[in-house]
Amino acid sequence: MLSSDSSSERLVPQSDALDPPDINTVTAKARRYRNWGKWGSDDELGSLNFVTPETITTAAQLVRKGRVFSLALPLDSDGPMNGSFGRHNPMHHMLWDGGDIESGAQDHLAALRYTDDAAYLVLQSSTQWDALAHIFHDGCMYNGFGTDQVNSRGAIKNAITNVKDRAVGRGVLLDIPRWKGVQWLEEGESITHDDLLAVCNHQHIEVRSGDFVLVRTGQLAQRRHLGSWGQYAGGPAPGLSISAADFFCPRQVAAVATDTWGTEVLPNETPDVFQPLHIIMLVNAGILLGEMWDMDDLASDCAQDGVFEFLLVAPPLTFTGAVGSPVNPQAIK
């Protein structure tokens, strides 16, 4: 358990505490937590380098009940996308269905009949990982690679396929609404460094190097309660504050995922920077970000047994050159 009275934990840099955050705040934190070159000039894994055989074997020992929780939203036309940012819900099409079988279209086959289907899928339209090639700042993505490294054929550097055998390890759920005694956080409500530290103490859990940290805001539960996606995709939302970087980066986490569209509190705290935490954590620290993860069932189980750690298995689809990927994360307790 992390100590709540540790002076090193509680101190936030004075400039962060006193001045309204802006591009200068973002730039300072980006430089402070930059991992470019830490694992070599050609590195494309970022903080996934903190995932080791030792962290994985330790995480495997967390499986005690044999309960498995899928953290994925359905991939269908009823999803949260509304066309903003050019993102649309998945479209599923049948290539061969039961009608084709009944009509005799497959009678040339001996005995066997089959169905087949296809999908049009925006890779960032549902539960997903952002690849390190997803975000640029000042012309660079993680490890200083330039815009020329993502062309019309896809990402040459930092593609999501680098994650294909790395998204396995200790998962930790930080359930912010339960800690606050509410069903969900409200739109525009930020989760700060101190909030993250306090919920860790409340849950008697420590965030460690190589962890996959799941931060629940309850926004998905709210949208289910209201019966509509509303402005979930890109609209006002609870989320992580810029100061959350001061919690995650020093702890060398592998990844952070939330149940919101964009991880960060919206509207952002910085009027002159859109999605500042993406710049600090994804571009500079190389921390993998997950969005739209459905944590509600897992959170209920964690609250019941008081165990907020588990084995997480969440590999992306291996789309060559992709800058993001749908994922069906499995939390195993």
Please identify every stretch of the chain with a pLDDT value under 70, giving residue numbers as ranges. Answer: 1-18
**Is residue 2 in some structural domain?**
no
pLDDT for position 320: 97
**Is residue 35 in some structural domain?**
yes
pLDDT for position 18: 56
Q: Are residues 272 and 287 in the same domain?
A: yes
Q: Are residues 113 and 227 in the same domain?
A: no
Q: Are residues 210 and 100 in the same domain?
A: no
Q: Are residues 143 and 268 in the same domain?
A: yes
pLDDT for position 206: 97
Q: Are residues 73 and 99 in the same domain?
A: no
pLDDT for position 84: 86
**Is residue 36 in some structural domain?**
yes
The domain of 92 spans 88-120
Q: What's the CA gap between 265 and 246, in Å, rounded?
A: 16
Number of domains the chain contains:
2
pLDDT for position 11: 38
Q: Are residues 225 and 109 in the same domain?
A: no
Q: What are phi and psi of 243, to 5 degrees?
A: -65, -15
The sign of the dihedral angle between the CA atoms of 117, 156, 314, 281 is negative
pLDDT for position 13: 43
**Is residue 19 in some structural domain?**
yes
Beta carbons of 142 and 281 less than 8 angstroms apart: no
Q: Are residues 183 and 282 in the same domain?
A: yes
Q: Are residues 147 and 235 in the same domain?
A: yes
In Å, how far are 102, 156, 215 from 141, measured between CA atoms? 53, 12, 24
Instruction: Give the end of a domain, one of 120, 141, 169.
Output: 120
The model carries a pTM of 0.92
CATH of the domain at 243: 3.50.30.50
Q: Are residues 50 and 103 in the same domain?
A: no
Burial class (CB in 10 A: 0-12, 13-18, 19+), 53: exposed
